A and B are shown apart, each in its own frame.
Chain A
């Protein structure tokens, strides 16, 4: 788990995605190959805007309910992420902002995983 988690740090810790200079599409998580332009694509890595709106969401009711939402960032890129708030606060179209949070941990003696989630914009 350690190397797999470590490889994802760069784009989990912040909204670092890819942008194709040929077609203008954004992707998150970042890609090194543009699925639209194929070999004509010119993919660069870029930091995405910190705010966006909820396109859709679901409440996963396992042990403790949590919210997973499809979020459209202000550059048009779509990101699937957790939203930290009470499920009753959730509305399609609501504005959300990135937040740095814990994702989980590998047991009590394992490493702690961190990354980007979203919170409602006040």
Chain B
């Protein structure tokens, strides 16, 4: 049996409210909150980036797994805010974790689904017997052009998943749906991404999320009723709620993983933080559907079954407790933290 052996998460403690961003740009905060379903978002500290977030999340995962870091045979870091354009984040992470030098490593990039792509690679490598444990991390300090609609949701955070044998949650099946759909992109040397506005909905998010979920169910014989929880990528709170409804899930199936309202969209960390929050309360034999989405575009779907091992697994502090530990900043401090202004 193979799957998630351990997990860890990290959410920077700073938050900015939608009201504060709307105040600066003269927009109606009530309308934005109603439209996006996002109330505040996480903001990294001045000395945090995707690499530091990845290390913090992974350290928690390793501590909970109670394993020797040198038993980790692969480190994959998925992000669209890798600190370097050329020079891997995965080596910084591997070194900080004390993995040694005997490991496979690469940075992955597929907009918001690079973290789940790492999970699929680790799962394959564990299944084939090449490695004992693989570490898949999704971490981002996502960028948004000041004044753009994205600025209300683009957040920071990450989660790390240790893949191996004797898991707390078995990966029963995984399936991907991929197409060339330019809904969101960032060209070389551009500081901020661009997006297709309304085009990011139906042809991008919904087509890929629904196709991946249905593809997984058809190929491996699942029905909506087989799942106790569902987690979808969360660019805002509206999209995952609507996707859940389209697949026949109720609000109760997704509310535990719906972290976006309180922290925004942590891009590669988004659906993985939702999964971590769901694993925080899941009981043995419960089944979780995870479907990520990465613009460009693709979705990775997973059927996860929680095992008895979760009973003795350390799950404190929980994701929702981390969400509650927060310090609010105003827009000027937010600009400083995001290194948009410098002394």
Q: Report A's interface with B, CB cutoff 8 A.
A: 9-10, 13-14, 47, 63-64, 84, 99-103, 111-112, 114, 117, 122
Could you tell me the distance between the alpha carbons of A112 and B52 in the complex, rounded to whole angstroms? 12
Residue numbers in B under 8 Å from A84 (CB-CB): 45, 47
Closest to B94 in A: A13
Residue contact B52 to A101, C-beta cutoff 8 Å:
yes
Picked from A14, A63, A99, A103, the residue with its CB within 8 Å of the CB of B343 is A63
Picked from A10, A101, A112, the residue with its CB within 8 Å of the CB of B83 is A112
B177 CB to nearest A CB, Å: 35
Residue contact B98 to A47, C-beta cutoff 8 Å:
yes
| Given A14-B96, A84-B45, A112-B49; 15 other pairs, CB 8 A cutoff | A47-B98, A64-B46, A64-B343, A84-B47, A99-B52, A99-B56, A100-B55, A101-B45, A101-B48, A102-B47, A103-B47, A112-B51, A114-B51, A114-B92, A122-B317
Contact with A along B34-65 (1 / 0, CB 8 A): 00000000000111110110011001000000
Chain B at the A interface: mostly helix, strand, loop or mixed?
loop
Residue numbers in B under 8 Å from A112 (CB-CB): 49, 51, 83-84
Could you tell me the distance between the alpha carbons of A33 and B46 in the complex, rounded to whole angstroms? 37
Residue contact A100 to B343, C-beta cutoff 8 Å:
no
Picked from B46, B56, B325, the residue with its CB within 8 Å of the CB of A122 is B325
For this complex, 20 residue pairs linking A to B, each with C-beta atoms less than 8 Å apart, are: A9-B95, A13-B95, A14-B98, A47-B98, A63-B343, A64-B343, A84-B47, A100-B56, A100-B59, A101-B45, A101-B52, A102-B49, A111-B87, A112-B49, A112-B83, A114-B51, A114-B52, A117-B47, A122-B317, A122-B325
Residue contact B325 to A102, C-beta cutoff 8 Å:
no
B267 CB to nearest A CB, Å: 19
Q: Report B's interface with A, CB cutoff 8 A.
A: 45-49, 51-52, 55-56, 59, 83-84, 87, 92, 95-96, 98, 317, 325, 343
Residue numbers in A under 8 Å from B325 (CB-CB): 122
B286 CB to nearest A CB, Å: 29
Could you tell me the distance between the alpha carbons of A64 and B333 in the complex, rounded to whole angstroms? 12
A68 CB to nearest B CB, Å: 14
Residue contact B96 to A102, C-beta cutoff 8 Å:
no
Residue numbers in B under 8 Å from A111 (CB-CB): 87
A108 CB to nearest B CB, Å: 10
B49 CB to nearest A CB, Å: 6
Residue numbers in B under 8 Å from A64 (CB-CB): 46, 343
A82 CB to nearest B CB, Å: 8
A121 CB to nearest B CB, Å: 11
A104 CB to nearest B CB, Å: 8
Residue numbers in A under 8 Å from B56 (CB-CB): 99-100
Could you tell me the distance between the alpha carbons of A99 and B46 in the complex, rounded to whole angstroms? 13
Residue numbers in B under 8 Å from A10 (CB-CB): 95
Residue numbers in A under 8 Å from B92 (CB-CB): 13, 114
Could you tell me the distance between the alpha carbons of A111 and B92 in the complex, rounded to whole angstroms? 12
Residue contact B45 to A100, C-beta cutoff 8 Å:
no
Could you tell me the distance between the alpha carbons of A10 and B101 in the complex, rounded to whole angstroms? 12
Could you tell me the distance between the alpha carbons of A77 and B96 in the complex, rounded to whole angstroms? 20
B105 CB to nearest A CB, Å: 15
Residue contact B52 to A102, C-beta cutoff 8 Å:
yes
Closest to B336 in A: A64
Closest to A111 in B: B87
Could you tell me the distance between the alpha carbons of A101 and B51 in the complex, rounded to whole angstroms? 9
Closest to A86 in B: B327
Could you tell me the distance between the alpha carbons of A14 and B55 in the complex, rounded to whole angstroms? 11
A118 CB to nearest B CB, Å: 12
Residue contact A100 to B98, C-beta cutoff 8 Å:
no
B156 CB to nearest A CB, Å: 13
A60 CB to nearest B CB, Å: 14
Given contact pairs A99-B56, A112-B83, A13 touches B96 in the complex (Cβ within 8 A): yes
Residue numbers in B under 8 Å from A122 (CB-CB): 317, 325
Could you tell me the distance between the alpha carbons of A10 and B48 in the complex, rounded to whole angstroms? 19
Interface centre among A10, A84, A102 (most CB of B within 10 A): A102
Could you tell me the distance between the alpha carbons of A122 and B323 in the complex, rounded to whole angstroms? 13
